[in-house]
Amino acid sequence: MKNEYDVVVVGAGPGGSMAAKNAAQRGLDVLLIEKRQEIGDPVRCAEGVSKVWLKKFIEPDPRWISAELKGSRIFSPDGTMIEMAEEIAGAEVGYVLERKIFDRALAYESAKAGAEVMVKTRATDLIIEDGFVKGVKVMHLGETYDIRAKLVIGADGVESKVGRWAGIDTSLRPDDIETCAQYLMSGTGLDQDFCHFYLGNEIAPAGYIWVFPKGQGLANVGIGILGSRSGKKHAIDYLDEFVKNKFPKAKILEIDVGGVPVSGSIERTIANGLILVGDAARQSDPITGGGIVNAMETGRIAGEVAYNAISRRDLSTNTLQEYEKRWRAKIGLDIDNSLIVKNTFITFTDREINALAHSLKGVNFTTMSLLDLLYALFKANKKILWDLRVIFKNVIKYDMDFER
């Protein structure tokens, strides 16, 4: 470890590794630091990801793919099932990853591109001079070091501190965070071709339960709920009830707990000399909580913008605006649309969720675009058209822009 780099990236999750790789590929001198001793471990993720999206960033490798899915099955509270083909089921359906290996592979990609990677190295504060972030203070094997950098990229996940240290408001209200609990289970007897989602306020208030097959009879069985709506019960209590009813004979091999930001886009993700990416920038999807591909995409943009800004020798927010503009154009729009849907969805009673599911029964989801899906929904449920009018407008605009 030197005491000066072009870029220091804090956090070796998908966002940080993509940022480090893309900055290093362009010839920048990059340090990627990770507080844990093993990148990717422990896992706090259901590990679902869209094939199409993932292939934009990295060639799929059987070493980190646990299962390949045909689609998803969504169950309403009364058990009505909607089946969706993988292509339209969203950014979390396609592959189920082995993130312990996947995250490590991404960090390895950044090292191959020339980045220096340091584990057991925790950022403890930023170095700030004359209103500019100028590096990070780190703790490595009990020693503290100051590492200077032209730009710092904060990719330190949901519990991010880097943004706050730079004066960016990344705080999450109780309604902005899903609390999650997950078991890795064996012996679920699950159909290994589909991931399953279970909806309903009784079983998962303002959230859902997921069952993602991992091959060889294994599955990630988890729950995300809005803590503010769940009364005295914790996420793990709801999960235990579900598991007891659904998989009474299955065995728990691993327990993960964690949080997912579902706030929609925050006001600012840059400061002078600093960019935030991924969960640290609250860029995960407010409906599903999925954030792997968004973190990878914003990490990639951050690496490119780092190169442009350093080449221009201007690390001010004026130049770093390029990052804000680029990620907000697609991901920002998507997550803000998702937030509108989520805020509408969490007001639904179980009866209304059942009614929605009944209205979609028999619809062919193998060939549908999101726009077709919305049309089908609205045709059957005119009442929700008004609540979701903004997203409807945005989707039409996006489809038209895309076709142009």
Ligand X SMILES: Cc1cc2nc3c(=O)[nH]c(=O)nc-3n(C[C@H](O)[C@H](O)[C@H](O)COP(=O)(O)OP(=O)(O)OC[C@H]3O[C@@H](n4cnc5c(N)ncnc54)[C@H](O)[C@@H]3O)c2cc1C
Q: Which residues bind ligand X (CB under 6 A)?
A: 10-16, 33-36, 44-49, 92, 122-123, 155-158, 180, 182, 222, 256, 258, 260, 278-280, 284, 289-292, 295
| Residue 152 or 384 with smaller CB distance to ligand X | 152
Residue 130 Cβ vs ligand X, minimum distance, rounded to whole Å:
24
Nearer to ligand X, 49 or 315 (CB): 49
Report the C-alpha gap between 120 and 140 in whole angstroms: 6
Nearer to ligand X, 10 or 226 (CB): 10
Q: Is 142 left (phi over 0), alpha (psi -120 to 50) or beta?
A: left
Residues 6+ apart with CB under 8 A from 269: 163, 168, 275, 276, 277, 281, 283, 323, 324, 327
Q: At its nearest, how many Å lie between ligand X and the CB of residue 366?
A: 22
Please state the closest distance from residue 124 (CB atom) to ligand X, in A: 7
Q: Of the two residues 47 and 98, which places its CB atom closer to ligand X in the complex?
A: 47
Q: Which helix (H) or strand (E) holds 44?
A: none
Dist CA 129 CA 314 (whole Å): 15
How far apart are CB 42 and ligand X at their closest, in Å? Answer: 9
- In whole angstroms, the minimum distance from the beta carbon of 135 to ligand X comes to 13
- Helix, strand, coil in percent for the chain, rounding step 5: 40, 30, 35
In whole angstroms, how close is the CB of 209 to ligand X at the nearest point? 11
Spatial separation of the C-alpha atoms in residues 161 and 23, rounded to whole Å: 22
Closest CA to 298 of 272, 273, 320: 320
Residue with smaller CB distance to ligand X, 281 or 388: 281
Give the separation between CA 48 and CA 94, rounded to whole angstroms.
7
Smaller CB separation from ligand X, 83 or 125: 125
Q: Kindly state the DSSP code that residue 360 receives in the 8-state scheme.
A: H
